[in-house]
Structure 1
Amino acid sequence: MSRMSTPRDGDDVTVTDVSSALEYWPSPPPWGWTADDLDRLPSEGPNGEPDFFKHVELIDGALVFMSPQKRFHERLLFGLRVALNEQAPESVVAMMQMDVKLGHRTRPCPDVLIVDAAAADDDERTCYTPDEVHLVVEVVSPESEERDRKTKPARYAEAGIAHLWRVENNDGKPVVYVYELDPATRAYGLTGIHHGRLTVPVPFPIDIDLEKLPR
């Protein structure tokens, strides 16, 4: 297949088949990756690698491949999702690793998120919009420190998501850093650091024993 012509700056580019973009692999295509491209990526990699694009997110136009999870990471994701759904009102649902489309070239995949129940009822959805998301949770791993501590929080805040939790591993025990959006500055402010027990009033009353999470 011949390559597409490189669009000029400012052109409104619509790519309906990412095969043209993959011809530039491993470099990004000249027109860049978009959030909608993630729905069109093949299951196999450019050289036939199985499930190559299974765990990928888009940050500022760059594809980011997520490393295999450690047990701490998996345990926290499952435990927080179960605990949150046990306490959540009927209007919202907690889920794991679903994308949030923050813009044309940014589509991260939070570890845990709370979304409107009406949006969660649609089993065909592959991503959510910021107005449907009430909380995002990132569990930090060594390879994701820079993204989870700096890049992704800034993008979530710019998109207007009201609540963010960052979970760190402290000798095998979770420490939860809780942030709330300041609407005046469109930036997060730290409201608490929680060891052992997490108790917060928003986005709804939550009381979680971090040392007894469901496994």
Structure 2
Amino acid sequence: MAVGAGSEHPQRPARDEPATRDNWMYPPAGGGWTWDQVQGLILPFDWELLGGKIVVRGASKWWHNLVRDELYYRLRGAKPRNLVINSEQSVFFNENNVPRPDIVIFERQGLDVDQDCIPVENVVLAVEVVSPGSRTEDRFLKPAMYAQAGIGYFWRVERGEGNVPEVHECWRHKEAGFYVPSPDRPTHVGTFKTDVPFPVEIDLRSLIDF
């Protein structure tokens, strides 16, 4: 990408120019990157599209990956047959927002296994496992996005005492359009037990002791 002589900042890409390894950090004016512009982008790190910007996903710790993977397998065994579970799956909200929740559970009806993204309309649950590099996104930015997009349930997994995970269970308030703590048990310590969006009971220490 050309840089003018004496210029301090590279020229921003044109509105319809695809993202590349050289220009990805400079979203086009007037709305930023769209999914069509970035879906073929290959970078040497994980990333997602948030607010028209390519956001680098911070390197996760072993604890984060262990908890995410173990929780994935427990939920996979508990979910009903009409639902699908994936980890690190892109979800299409709109052309400027395509996040990748740590775990996403969605309805399979009408979907093609070859598609790149899951439509947000199919998603029933999003899960984020908080790590030091993602606290702001996982605690504030993403829950607000997920609720606004209509995802009914959101779980935030935090690192508790003795490294044992704690699950903060949230339900979307239909009238207000944002997440509120589960009325029955908003924070699960020791054992995670809920009936929505499907029944599941998990010994949280078992996610790190096996």
Which amino acid letter does the alignment assign opposite residue 30 of structure 1? A
1:55 aligned partner, one-letter code:
D
Shift in Å, 1:6: 4.8
Contact 1:90 1:117 in 2 (8 A): no
**Which amino acid counterpart does residue 77 of structure 1 have in structure 2?**
R
Per-residue deviation, 1:93? 1.7
Which secondary structure state, in structure 1, belongs to the residue aligned with residue 175 of structure 2? coil
Alpha-carbon distance in structure 1 between the residues aligned to 2:72 and 2:110:
17
Which residue number corresponds to residue 168 of structure 1? 158
In the other structure, the counterpart of 2:70 is 79
Correspondence for 1:18: 19
1:124 partner SS = coil
TM-score of the two chains, using structure 1 as the length reference: 0.82
Contact 1:59/1:106, CA 8 A, preserved across alignment = yes
1:29 aligned onto 2:28: yes
Q: Is the 8 A contact 1:116 1:133 kept in 2?
A: yes
1:133 has 2:123 as partner: yes
Equivalence for 1:116: 107
SS in 2 for 1:152: helix
- Name the structure 2 match of 1:207: 201
| Fraction of identical pairs, as percent | 32
Runs of 4+ in 1 over 6 A off after TM superposition: 1-5
Q: Is the CA contact (8 Å cut-off) linking 1:138 and 1:167 kept in structure 2?
A: yes
Q: TM-score, normalised by structure 2?
A: 0.84
Gaps of 5+ in 2: 3-10
How large is the RMSD of aligned CA atoms in angstroms? Answer: 2.3
Aligned to 2:145: 155
Contact 1:95 1:113 in 2 (8 A): yes
Counterpart residue number, 2:39? 39
Would you say the 8 A contact 1:119–1:132 is kept in 2?
no
| Alpha-carbon separation, structure 1, partners of 2:71 and 2:104 | 10
Per the alignment, do residues 16 and 30 of structure 1 end up closer, same or farther by CA in structure 2, a change over 3 Å counting? Answer: closer
Q: What is the SS of the residue equivalent to 1:166? A: strand
Choose from 37, 55, 58 the match for 1:67.
Answer: 58
Q: Which amino acid aligns with 2:155?
A: W
Instruction: Give the whole-Å Cα distance in 1 for the aligned partners of 2:191 and 2:38.
Output: 37
Q: CA deviation at 1:179?
A: 0.3
Cα offset for 1:23?
Answer: 5.6
SS state of the match for residue 136, structure 2?
helix
Alignment partner of 1:143 is 2:142: no
Paired residues of 1:83 and 1:213 also in contact (CA < 8 A):
no
Per the TM alignment, residue 96 of structure 1 is displaced from its structure 2 partner at its CA by 0.5
The superposition leaves residues 178-212 of structure 1 with CA deviations (integer Å, 9 ceiling, x where unpaired) of: 00001101110111100111111100111111111
Q: CA deviation at 1:104?
A: 2.1
Structure 1, unmatched stretches of 5+, are 8-14, 44-50
What is the DSSP-based 3-state SS (H/G/I as helix, E as strand, rest coil) of the residue aligned with 2:69? Answer: helix
Task: Quote how far apart the aligned CAs of 1:26 are.
Answer: 3.3
Deviations 1:88-110 (A, max 9, x none): 11000221010111122111110
